[in-house]
Structure 1
Amino acid sequence: MHDDPLTPPFATKIAVAVRDDLESWQRLNVTAFLVSGITAADPELVGEPYVDADGHQHLSLLGVPILVFEASAETLRNARTRALERQIPSAIYTKQMFATGYDADNRGVVAAVAGADLDLVGIGVHGPKNAVAKILKGAHLHP
Structure 2
Amino acid sequence: MTENNVEQPPRPQRCVIVVDGDLPAGKAANAAAVLALTVGQRHPALVGEPLVDASGCAHPGLIPVGIAVLAANQQEMSAIRGRAIAASCDVVTFPVQGQQTTDYGAFRDAVATVATDDLRYVGLALIGDRKPVSKAVANLGLLR
- Provide TM-score, normalisation by structure 1: 0.82
Q: CA separation in 1, counterparts of 2:60 and 2:105?
A: 26
Q: Does 1:61 align with 2:65?
A: no
Q: CA separation in 1, counterparts of 2:140 and 2:106?
A: 29
Q: Does 1:18 align with 2:55?
A: no
Q: Is the 8 A contact 2:51 2:60 kept in 1?
A: yes
Q: CA separation in 1, counterparts of 2:103 and 2:85?
A: 26
Moved more, 48-57 or 19-28: 48-57
Q: CA separation in 2, counterparts of 1:100 and 1:80?
A: 23
Aligned to 2:78: 77
Aligned to 1:8: none
Q: Percent identity?
A: 29
> Can you list the C-alpha shifts for 1:81-100, whole angstroms capped at 9, x where unaligned?
11222232211112211122
Q: Does 1:39 align with 2:45?
A: no
Aligned to 2:129: 128
Amino acid at match of 1:55: G
Question: Please, which runs of 5 or more residues in structure 1 have no aligned partner?
Answer: 6-10
Aligned to 2:3: none
Instruction: Specify the SS of the correspondent of 1:141.
Output: coil
Aligned to 2:96: 95
Q: Is the 8 A contact 2:89 2:127 kept in 1?
A: yes
Q: CA separation in 1, counterparts of 2:63 and 2:129?
A: 17
Q: CA separation in 2, counterparts of 1:140 and 1:86?
A: 21
CA displacement at 1:102 relative to structure 2: 4.6
> Can you list the C-alpha shifts for 1:109-128, whole angstroms capped at 9, x where unaligned?
33332111112111111111
Amino acid at match of 2:141: H
CA displacement at 1:52 relative to structure 2: 2.4
Q: Which of the two has higher C-alpha Rg?
A: 2
Aligned to 2:109: 108
Q: How many residues align?
A: 136
Q: Is the 8 A contact 1:94 1:121 kept in 2?
A: yes
- Provide TM-score, normalisation by structure 2: 0.82
Q: CA separation in 1, counterparts of 2:137 and 2:106?
A: 28
